[in-house]
Amino acid sequence: MRMKFNKSSQLVLVSAAGLLVASLVTACSQITQTLTVDFVFVASSKAAGPDNYGEIDIFEVNSESGAMRQIPASPVPSGGRYPIAEAVSSDNQSLFVVNQDDNNIVQFVIGNDGKLYPFNTVNTPGVFPLAVAANASNLFVVDTYQPLPSCSTAAPCSGSIAAYPLTKATSTVPVTIGTPAINAGISSNYWPLTLAGKPSDVIVPTGVNILGSGSYVYVTAYDSSVTPNVGYLFGFGVGSGGVLTPLSGSPFAAGTLPSAVASDAAGKYLYVTDYARGNVLGFSATAGIPTPLAGSPFPAGNAPSAIVVNPSFAFAYVTNSTDSTVSAYSMNSGVLTRVGTYTVGLQPVAIGIDPSTNHFLYTANFLGNNVTGFELSQTAGTLLDAQFSPFPSNNQPTAIAAIPHNGTGAGVH
């Protein structure tokens, strides 16, 4: 709602009550224009409606309290079954939603009011997509299985990564998803995640991250054919049109069961959560090659499931799924020091920071069917519960993505 008060030259003489009403109406207009700092999109995987589609809850975030409320148009169908991952285009005008059971990526155009409008749907090259990342040039998707005739849920095979070049938006057409890049080595549109000398081992991917420069992309995965599992970080250089080249030494050792990967905004450091060991592995990323940091791995809670690095302040946050907590860390030359642990809803599986001010943090809680919100200290990294948190979502939320109000990064004036 937007209220307006227009003065008229004929309204020179007004009563004191009229002046009061006018000032209140003007104040209301100013508040409603500025209090929404971000729009947050939460994917809920539980089937809903006659098409058994998942849903996307659309929240607006209050700039003063961090409180979230769903906009009137929320929720909207995700365009497929079991939405599991989301990414936002670099211009904040498109939301990409991965629907695992339909092997597709649905692109929504985001309105200035946060509403979502279906625009395009593409199929992923492989089977059961599980992770997605985007920057200005490319959209990367990771599939659980390669598209091989011999591969099925009964006879699983290793996963793969694919790259879609993105065209720039124009005044009339949003970002457009191009044809997947071709891997000349296999004459197909994906790159297998396999181990040299162990072609029959089933490598299970878990996450994807693009380094800040856009020149490198990483996939976390583990070898499910050995006990205990062995974790890896697959690294690729990104060429023209999204063509990938494995980095020298890839894949790199990464714990036992890596569950998620994140990097800082400058692209200096990489962090990988180890679900089995309850810690966070830290790497420097000089020239794209991950090198373990001093003191790594850093302790987390039980079964860490997701990680985010604040793009403006030296803090990182990790969800601990079986503890239903978030661990907060300060960062010094990449080294993580835990500064606190905070309770969230049941089984957090995704985490995000508001992109307008980097002042609020949210977790999607899969079994809690809600979203926990915090206000974070920009000096200490500690967390304070947001007003009215937790916020109800649809059932079994799996992913979080957000844009600044009006897509400008200037939600608060």
Range of lowest pLDDT (48-52, 69-73, 121-125, 276-280): 48-52
Q: Which amino acid is at 262?
A: A
- pTM beyond 0.85: the answer is yes
Tell me the per-residue pLDDT of 105-160, one tens digit each, with 9 for 90 and over.
999 999 999 999 999 999 999 999 999 999 999 999 999 999 999 888 889 999 99
Judge whether residue 24 has pLDDT over 60: no
Q: Count of CB atoms within 10 A of residue 239's CB?
A: 12
Which residues partner with 138 through β-bridges? 165
Token pair, residue 126, equals 């492989």
**Confidence (pLDDT) at 144:** 98
Judge whether residue 328 has pLDDT over 60: yes
Question: What burial class does residue 161 get, using C-beta atoms within 10 Å of its C-beta: 0-12 exposed, 13-18 middle, 19+ buried?
Answer: buried
**Confidence (pLDDT) at 230:** 98
- The whole-chain average pLDDT of the chain stands at 90
Peptide bond into 390 cis (omega under 30): yes
| Alpha helices, H only, 251-341 | none
Helix (H) or strand (E) holding 21: helix 16-34
User: Which DSSP letter does residue 181 get?
Assistant: P
The distance from CA 182 to its chain's CA centroid, rounded to whole angstroms, is 26
Q: Count of CB atoms within 10 A of residue 50's CB?
A: 5
Residues 381 and 308 sit within 8 Å (Cβ to Cβ): no
- Catalogue all structural domains in the chain, each as residue range(s) with its CATH number: 43-407 (2.130.10.10)
Average the pLDDT over 281-304 and give the result: 97
